[in-house]
Amino acid sequence: MVHQPSSQPRLSPSSDTEDMAEMSKVLAPRLAYFAGVARTEHVTRAAQEMNVPQSTLSRSMVRLEQDLGVDLFARHGRTVSLTPAGRTFLASVERALAEVERAAEEVRADADPATGKVAFGFLHTMGAETVPGLLHAFRADHPRVRFSLVQNYGEAMLERLRAGELDLCLTSPVPDAPDLVARRLDEQKLRLVVPADHSLAGRRRIRLAEAADETFVTLEPGYGLRRITDDLCKEAGFKPRIAFEGEEAETLRGLVAAGLGVALLPPPAVPRPGVVELTVTAPRAAREIGVAWLEGHPDTPPVAAFKRFLLSRRGSLLPT
């Protein structure tokens, strides 16, 4: 059969984005019909198998050929056979349909109440003890729910939340933004960590102003704990003199143990030798921990279940 040019508009490299989107909406529903007709080589039988009117199927195939500008079928009464162009197109259509079905199965699996997936972000400082404990407690009632875990600093997690890469995140400070929903869950006291041989190491408590002349090691700008450190020092009447900036609290403890400065840090999961941790009496040194999610974003059943679980842990989120 000779391929006749079509008078209908067709896709071309110069089509703009709106034309491409509109053509995709037109083509997409017809691909499964095309594959069904190609498989059976009989329009009536394909219509019966796909439970659609034969007239609908026939019109769809004609319009598909017009949209593409090529003949996909050679027609022999009620039977059809693929043209060379039809065979080429079928191979791509079958791959596309298989990929769509694979993606559909994946999202259905992720949304399954019993075995679905939760994309969960949290601060580095909560990875050693807090989050493992939470997951252990949650999976007592939801043993097959899967988790994709992301450790990062607060601002980076909020960016991933907005991008749809995370369902929920534990962060500090608790964000206040119109596109996010955030709930305070707990509070974590911060301590002034000093080297074991430091002149302040014999103390149990300290006013932060007494450390005004010390060299500090801190997290990098953009980290919530860095912002809290700067704010507390400002409230105590000084700007900290910073010698080292890092990305992880336990690295900072190592720097303190090496005598390279002091730091304001949350309690460690396991006590570290070489440092002494002092209670800060003034100003009040603590950080709020909260859970955040995207406003208006629908929850799958496993995400909704884990969100309810986290909210039920208000005041008891952190290990004592």
Provide, rounded to the nearest whole percent, the portion of the chain with pLDDT above 70: 91
Q: With beta carbons less than 8 A apart as the criterion, state whether 133 and 317 touch.
A: no
Whether residue 106 is found in the same domain as residue 125 = no
Residue 26, pLDDT score: 57
Q: How far is CA 164 from the centre of its chain?
A: 5
Predicted TM-score (pTM) of this structure: 0.73
Residues 292, 181 share a domain: yes
Contact 248, 152 (CB under 8 A): no
Count of the separate structural domains present in the chain: 3
Residue 279 domain boundaries:
191-284
Whether residue 304 lies inside any domain: the answer is: yes
**Given this model, what pLDDT does residue 204 score?**
96
Are 167 and 241 part of one and the same domain? no
Name which of 23-37, 53-67, 139-153, 232-246 the model is least confident about. Answer: 23-37
100 vs 209, which has greater pLDDT?
A: 209
CB atoms within 10 A of CB 275: 24
CATH number at residue 244: 3.40.190.10
Per-residue confidence (pLDDT) for residue 4, from 0 to 100: 44
Helices (H), the chain: 17-40, 43-50, 54-68, 84-111, 130-138, 154-162, 224-235, 249-257, 301-311
Number of other CB atoms surrounding residue 98 within 10 Å: 10
Whether 122 and 142 map to the same domain: the answer is yes
β-strand pairing of 275-282 with 146-151: unpaired
| pLDDT grade for 10, boundaries at 50, 70 and 90 | very low
**Average pLDDT in the 261-280 region?**
95
Model confidence at 282: pLDDT above 90? yes
Residues 72 and 219 in one domain: no
Mean pLDDT for 300-317 is: 96
Average pLDDT, the chain: 89
176 in any annotated domain: yes
Question: Do residue 125 and residue 196 come from a single domain?
Answer: no
Residues 174 and 208 in one domain: no
103 shares its domain with 37: yes
Q: Are 238 and 212 in contact (CB under 8 A)?
A: yes
Which residue reads 């993606």 in tokens?
Answer: 103
Q: CA-CA distance, 2 to 5, in Å (whole number)?
A: 10
Span between the terminal Cα atoms of the chain, in Å: 79
The stretch 237-259 carries a mean pLDDT of 96
Per-residue pLDDT tens over the stretch 179-222: 999 999 999 999 999 999 999 999 999 999 999 999 999 999 98
pLDDT of residue 109: 80
Domain boundary among 111, 128, 156: 111
What pLDDT, on a 0 to 100 scale, did the predictor assign at position 49? 86
- Three-class DSSP category at 156: helix
- pLDDT of 11 reads 44
The mean pLDDT value for 91-103 works out to 86
Judge whether 76 and 13 are in contact, CB under 8 Å: no
Q: By C-alpha distance, which of 88, 295, 37 is closest to 179?
A: 295
The whole-angstrom separation of Cα 180 and Cα 137 is 26
Cβ within 8 Å of residue 92, ≥6 positions away = none
On the question of pLDDT at 101 being above 50, the answer is yes
In a domain, 9, yes or no: no
Mean pLDDT within 248-275: 95
Q: How confident is the model at residue 13 (pLDDT cuts 50, 70, 90)?
A: very low
144: left (phi over 0), alpha (psi -120 to 50) or beta: alpha
In a domain, 309, yes or no: yes
Q: Is residue 320 domain-resident? A: no
